[in-house]
Amino acid sequence: IGLVQPSTESAIAEIGWWVAPGHRGRGVATTAARLMADWAVAELSVDAVLARCQADNPASVAVARAAGFTRCDVSDGTPNGELWRFG
């Protein structure tokens, strides 16, 4: 799992996750994403944590949803996946 906050003044952070094939389907990514997002909101004082999920990757979408992210209705204009928001 990784978290990027563009600057200490930024109110937004971006999260990403990847799980080795042998460990998928065990809730590892969901737990890690939820813990990291909770921590970022509490400790980094960000207003939101964003995740980008490819629509054709149902596993990532399921992780985002299960971790408490909601799909954003707006696009940032890039083809890098749907935006999901936590916080």
For the chain, percent helix, then strand, then coil, each to nearest 5? 30, 25, 45
Residue pLDDT, tens place only, 68-78: 999 997 655 66
Q: pTM of this prediction? A: 0.86
Query: Which string of DSSP letters, residue by residue, matches 28-68?
Result: HHHHHHHHHHHHHHHHS--SEEEEEE-TT-HHHHHHHHHTT
60 phi-psi bin (left φ>0, alpha ψ -120 to 50, beta other)? alpha
Residue pLDDT, tens place only, 22-62: 999 999 999 999 999 999 999 988 999 999 998 889 999 99
Encoded tokens for 72: 């954003």
